[in-house]
Structures are given as C-alpha cells and as structure tokens.
Amino acid sequence: MTIVKLKVARIGNSRGVRLPAATLRRYRIGDSVTMEERDDGILLRPTGSPVVKLSWKETARAMVASREDWSDWDAAAGDGLEDLPWEPGRRMRVVESAPRYAGIRRRRKRG
C-alpha cells in the first residue's frame, strides 16, 4: 500500500483533491467516484458495478480450462497440515522442519 500526501485545493466554496493519473488508471476511475464516510476515514470507490469475482467453483473451472501445469501444487498436499488438530479460535503456529542443507556451515571471509 502506497501512502501519498495530496494537497487540498479550493474549488469555489468547496475543497477538492487531485488524484494521480496512475491511481485513476489502476482503479478504473472515470468521471465520478462514490465517497463513503467511515470511522477511520474516507473511502473513495469507482462508480458503477463492482468487479465480479469468481466463486471457488468457477475459479477451479477456469484453472482447468487454462490447461496450465499445476503438478507443483501436488507437493503441498503432502505437507501434513490436514493431520494437525485444529481448534476454532485457537491460534496455531506451524513450524517447518529445517531443510537438509541447514547443517552446512558457510565459512566466513576474513578481511
């Protein structure tokens, strides 16, 4: 997330800010925005219908249709996470075992 300080300019009896062109392109903002006042600040959104996101089922179908090689993901299936006892509301920390090369010591250069 980038933080940009914008100058507030006088526009008649009102005030306004100029949004950078890159931001306008990134969020596809045209002639107007929707403003929402929140407890933690102001939220500006592009007007119009929001971008439709795919459901998990549609995402899976799109992945299959793309014909990409997803075989590398099969290695993650054997990570053993499904065997861990999960309890709702309890924070868990998963620690991976050290890689085989962890025991190799590197020599320091003396200078």
Residue 102 DSSP one-character state: G
CA-based end-to-end distance of the chain: 41
pLDDT at position 101: 63
3-state secondary structure 45-101: EECCCCCCCCCHHHHHHHHHHHCCCCHHHHHHHCCCHHHCCCCCCCCCCCCCCCCHH
**Per-residue pLDDT tens digits for 32-68:** 999 999 999 999 988 877 767 778 898 888 888 888 8
- Looking up tokens 């949004």 gives 19
Model pTM above 0.85: no
Q: In whole angstroms, give the CA distance from residue 32 to residue 109.
A: 60
Mean pLDDT taken over the chain: 81
CA 15 to each of CA 9, 11, 18, 29, 61: distance values in angstroms, whole numbers, following the listed order: 5, 5, 10, 19, 48
pLDDT at position 91: 76
Average pLDDT over residues 16-32: 90
1-66: CATH topology: Pemi-like Protein 1; Chain: D (2.10.260)
Average pLDDT over residues 88-108: 66
